[in-house]
Chains A and B, each alone.
Chain A
Amino acid sequence: MKKFFLISTVILLLIMSVVSIGKTVTIRYWMWDPSIRAKEETLIKAFEKTHPNIKVELTTMEPKNYWPKLSAMSAAKSLPDVFNMSSGYVEGWASAGLLYKLNDFVSQLDLSKYFPKLFSVTTYNGNIYAFPFAWVTTVLYYNKDMFDEAGLAYPTDDWTWFDFLNAAIRLTKDKNGDGKIDQWGYWFYGRYAHIEPWIYQDGGRLLNENKTRFAPDANAMETLKFLTDLVLKYKVAPSKKSMTGVRQQDVFPLGMAAMWTDGSWNIENNRRIIKGKFRWGIAKVPRGPHWTHDITYAWPDSISISAFTKHPKEAWELVKFLTGPAVPVNLFMAGKVPSYKPTAYSEEWLQKDKQPGNMDLILKLGNNPVRTSFTKGWSEWRGYGGAEGMGLNGAIDKVINGEESLDKAMEESTIYVNKVLERYYK
């Protein structure tokens, strides 16, 4: 009897395990940040607990290896089921038929819990091809100590170019009297995150409406004139040339400039370098003369599902989980906003006890209309990463280095950028 019981239990267990093995689906998930692998693993364990029929195989890789690998896999149609997706790549990958349409899944969600404006960046031809898990935007960083010393009021939400310029002039100082400026009012060069937010806040566009041609409008040109004049005419910002050798993101935290516009993700680097040396804050990018309403330059990091996956439903379960309430705040680098609103609005994310102290400003920006200039071939015409000196970036640098007039640089840029865009949009 005892023996019979034992044998039957063993058989039962065997049957159960065979049945459950038969039902288990393995989802391969690739992400681009190895530094948070351990945290991600914990998260995946929690997912597997609540979804016992799904097993997740995690691969993490540095972005510089991630994209070449993933591209090669896409050529062989053997993409991981679920993978991280960059805003700049959504259009290219979606148009190549590599991404799974998420419309049906997304329509089942309560979108008021997310930042719906950001979905416009991951939408191509009316379909959603990537689901944001975090997003970033651009802000005006300012050094509170320098403002106090100059007797200036801090930037406000309705700050205009005039207010900004006035402050920048008074913040530009030669402190040791050697005839050289050692505290600049502002710091910028041709980088996308330094230029576009100003254009959008002046109601301007760099591209035509359907983003197939480079056609800076009058407002965009007005903005570029204003910005380049900060170096050439008002001399409240240094030339790109003279700052060579300093990492661009270190100029503000090292106290060389009182104000700076760049991505919100720089909060982390600022904290690390500034420590307690001075007090600083973040503000909206000032309004241009043609401002009618706030337009935010923001874009998400997202998760996509492979068009070749055999298990789209299970893959979506994972995507939903990785973008939802279960994701802890410590998985987000400071200044990156969780796309799940309740997490973003939590005290834990806002970190009011840490500088800049007013991170709620970023959340407000996420509810504005969103504009970007991402297209196919963006890194080439904009001048990005290992090609930073090229394209529009290089053209603006030429102007602020005093090597070419703005009009000439923009004339050349228009020809160059449109040549690039023509290759992709005929």
Chain B
Amino acid sequence: MIYDHIMRTRRYVPYLFLLPAIIGLFGFRLIPIVWAFLMSFTRWSVYAPPQWLGLANYKELFSSELFWGILKNTFVYTAIYVPGVMIIGLILAVLVNNRLRGIAFFRGLLFAPVVTSAVAIGMVWGWILSPRFGILNHVLEHWFSVSNPPAWLGDRNIALIAIAFVAVWQRVGYQMVLFLAGLQDIPTVFYEAAKIDGANRWQRFWKITLPLLSPTTFFVLIISIIDSFRNFTIIYTMTRGGPGSSSTTLAYAIYQNAFIFSRMGYASSLAYILLIIVGTITLINFYFKKKWVKYKY
């Protein structure tokens, strides 16, 4: 009797232990995702009950010049950020993959910006890039005698690019660590065999390192793209999306609409556009994966 009882209840025990995680997943992920989808068809100021609008938010969005500008900014940012962190991250990883004395120090140094508060980074770079008082323009003017250095974050044509560079500087350490792990996974026998066959450094990198690193590269590509679409803090601390809306990306526009303009419905529709874009890009990446990612040696 008792034995049967235990056996019967036992089957539920694992679920009991999983319950906190499941509650978290449903309560803080799935339900908000579904809720946001519903809200994207409403006008919702949070403090007043939502009003059904049908597709009006999406119509407004597609007919708004501001939205297309923001979308363009988002892609420009991604086009700088993703190749930036991946190429520089790989180069750095190859460099710190050497067995030199004190290499741990350099690895730590390059990783430091990743663990530094983005708010602090935004502020310090804000000072560096300040047109009148910043060190960058001081150097440009006095060492390189540039007569009219740009206003960087104050210039609507440059602000977004400047932010993207700072973001690359901040995040590249993370990509470096991932690549480094990938590099150390490659068995040394391949290199030794290639050396005996007379392959030079470049050939070894091109023919062995890159193909064998491809699973890592794929992973880094996916997370870098997602990372770039989600960037918020650096924009908030450096330009607040300005001048005008020249450095406003989709993620930042979602924040503005939701928490400054109290337009939760419109912000939700922006969030769904973001979801569709990131989802599509990720799907495309997975589709082309088999063409270049090699899991077997």
Contacts and interface: CB of A to CB of B under 8 A. Distances in A.
A241 interface: yes
A245 B126 CA distance: 5
Main secondary structure of the interface of B (DSSP, over half): loop
A92 B236 CA distance: 26
Contacts of A380: 260-261, 263
A401 B47 CA distance: 38
B246 interface: yes
Interface of A: 67-68, 70-72, 74-75, 92-93, 96, 98, 240-246, 377, 379-380, 384-390, 394, 397-398, 401, 403, 423
A241 B47 contact: no
Contact of A401 (B130, B153, B243, B263): B243
A397 B244 contact: yes
Nearest to B128: A245
Given A243-B132, A244-B154, A385 B260 contact: yes
Given A74-B47, A92-B45, A245 B130 contact: yes
Contacts of B243: 240-241, 389, 394, 397-398, 401
Nearest to B259: A68
Given A245-B129, A394-B244, A389 B49 contact: no
B242 interface: yes
B113 interface: no
A245 to B, nearest CB: 2
B96 to A, nearest CB: 32
A302 B248 CA distance: 33
A394 B154 contact: no
Contact-size category for B: 35 or more
B239 interface: yes
Nearest to B152: A244
A72 B127 contact: no
B174 interface: no
Contacts of B248: 389-390
A390 B241 contact: yes
Contacts of A388: 240-242
Contacts of B239: 389
Interface of B: 43, 45-49, 126-127, 129-134, 151-156, 236, 239-248, 255-256, 259-263
B49 A71 contact: no
A244 B241 contact: no
Nearest to A180: B132
Nearest to B150: A241
A39 B243 CA distance: 40
B151 A244 contact: yes
Contacts of A394: 242-245
Contacts of B151: 241-242, 244
Nearest to A390: B245
B244 A389 contact: yes
27 contacts: A68-B46, A72-B46, A75-B49, A92-B47, A96-B45, A242-B154, A244-B131, A245-B126, A245-B127, A245-B130, A245-B132, A245-B134, A245-B153, A245-B154, A380-B263, A385-B240, A386-B240, A386-B241, A386-B259, A387-B241, A387-B261, A389-B242, A389-B247, A394-B243, A394-B244, A397-B242, A398-B244
